[in-house]
């Protein structure tokens, strides 16, 4: 008889152990209780005497997704990977929030509780995709706790052009894409997520995850791909929770309701994108103009959105060197109108360190 619900904690544990072995590190797991009903799961590695770096995964992800990146980062930092509340192995409270502000706090407050529990006065905060957006929200709320922030192909940074018309842009796509997108967008607005569909797909869930991984990530050995598939399948078969907050933060076209480039982050920042990334590096330029702190943008070669899997060595090197470079870069004056004076705009943009492809 075919088993419809395929949740297996044993399979998840074994797959995670296999991925950890690839890193060659002594990675420890931990759980921090936020209150009586909520807890955050995490992984840690690196010398405790080194500067702390907290790393946040993307939408529907989990901490072990960074297994290829941890080796280079742990040489320089004490790394803590946190599973966002309602995702990964963290607890799954019922999600009933309606506003963007409440939704952001749903993710941000547990990070602050973890920082306090870990005894970190200040930290470097990094996040990928959706985790990058949450890192920005945390930095805006607790700037005194963030020494530097690293956006790894972060969503929700850039704002659409003033003349952007989503319906007009959609009409330029093939009719099959338009139909599929409208169906997906309707489901998205009603709270249906990719993980929701996965939970209803029964024995096909693993095949669907593997199909996605094959399309998005090239070059992984078969055994490694299978273990990654098991991890992402299993954590997304758990009850839905934080994933339902996505529609409160993003709107059609993956534009943020409150993009980070419109929210002053007076914190030194690094933006990293793959050279085949679908995220727009223009957000880094927009942020550089309104941010008094130095900003660096780096392009990682031979990688798309999941650059931590596709080119982890170059990504790790650029994170480490970028964090060191920020210490040597000057701050600039930003006026009360949230924009640098006209004579300083060229200087602000020149503070972007462009490597690989040009942002224009």
For the chain, what percentages of helix, strand and coil (3-state, to nearest 5) are there?
45, 15, 40
pLDDT-above-90 percentage for the chain = 63
Q: How far is it, in rounded angstroms, from Cα 41 to Cα 205?
A: 24
Instruction: Write down the pTM of the prediction.
Output: 0.88
Mean pLDDT of the chain: 86
> Which tens digits make up the pLDDT trace of 281-336?
887 777 777 778 899 999 999 999 999 999 999 999 999 999 999 999 988 665 54
> Which tens digits make up the pLDDT trace of 42-58?
999 999 999 999 999 99
Mean pLDDT over 234-258 rounds to: 90
Q: How far is it, in rounded angstroms, from Cα 347 to Cα 344?
A: 5
Query: Which carries the bigger pLDDT value, residue 4 or residue 116?
Result: 116
Domains and CATH numbers, the chain: 9-350 (3.40.50.1820)
Q: Which two tokens stand for residue 359?
A: 């942002």
Mean pLDDT over 242-266 rounds to: 85
Q: How far is it, in rounded angstroms, from Cα 55 to Cα 80?
A: 6
How would residue 357 be classed by pLDDT, with cut points 50, 70 and 90?
Answer: very low
- Taken in order 3, 6, 12, 18, is the CA torsion positive or negative? positive
């Amino acid at each position: 008889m075919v088993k419809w619900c395929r949740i297996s904690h044993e399979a998840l544990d074994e797959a995670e152990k296999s991925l950890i072995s690839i890193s060659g590190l002594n990675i420890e797991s931990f759980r921090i209780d936020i209150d009586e009903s909520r807890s955050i799961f995490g992984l840690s590695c690196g010398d405790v005497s080194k500067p702390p770096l907290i790393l946040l995964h993307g939408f529907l992800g989990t901490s072990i997704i960074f297994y290829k990146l941890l080796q280079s980062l742990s040489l320089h930092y004490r790394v803590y990977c946190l599973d966002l509340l309602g995702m990964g192995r963290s607890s799954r409270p019922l999600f009933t929030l309606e506003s963007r502000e409440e939704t952001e706090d749903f993710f941000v407050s547990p990070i602050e509780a973890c920082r306090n529990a870990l005894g970190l006065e200040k930290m470097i905060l990094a996040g990928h995709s959706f985790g990058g957006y949450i890192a920005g929200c945390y930095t805006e709320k607790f700037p005194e706790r963030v020494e530097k922030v690293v956006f790894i192909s972060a969503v929700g940074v850039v704002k659409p052009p003033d003349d952007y018309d989503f319906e007009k842009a959609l009409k330029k796509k093939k009719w099959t894409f338009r139909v599929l997108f409208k169906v997906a967008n309707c489901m998205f607005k009603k709270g249906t997520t990719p993980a929701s569909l996965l939970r209803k797909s029964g024995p096909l869930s693993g095949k669907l995850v593997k199909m996605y991984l094959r399309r998005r990530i090239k070059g992984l050995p078969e055994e490694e791909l299978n273990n990654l598939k098991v991890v992402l399948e299993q954590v997304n078969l758990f009850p839905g929770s934080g994933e339902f907050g996505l529609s409160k933060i993003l709107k059609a076209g993956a534009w943020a309701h409150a993009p980070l480039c419109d929210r002053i982050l007076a914190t030194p920042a690094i933006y990293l994108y793959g050279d085949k990334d679908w995220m727009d590096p223009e957000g880094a330029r927009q942020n550089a103009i309104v941010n008094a702190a130095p900003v660096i943008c780096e392009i990682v070669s031979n990688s798309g959105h999941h650059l931590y899997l596709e080119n982890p060595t170059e990504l790790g090197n650029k994170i480490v060197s970028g964090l060191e470079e920020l210490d040597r870069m000057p701050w600039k004056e930003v006026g009360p109108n949230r924009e640098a004076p006209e004579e300083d705009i060229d200087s602000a943009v020149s503070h972007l360190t462009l490597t690989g492809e040009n942002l224009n």
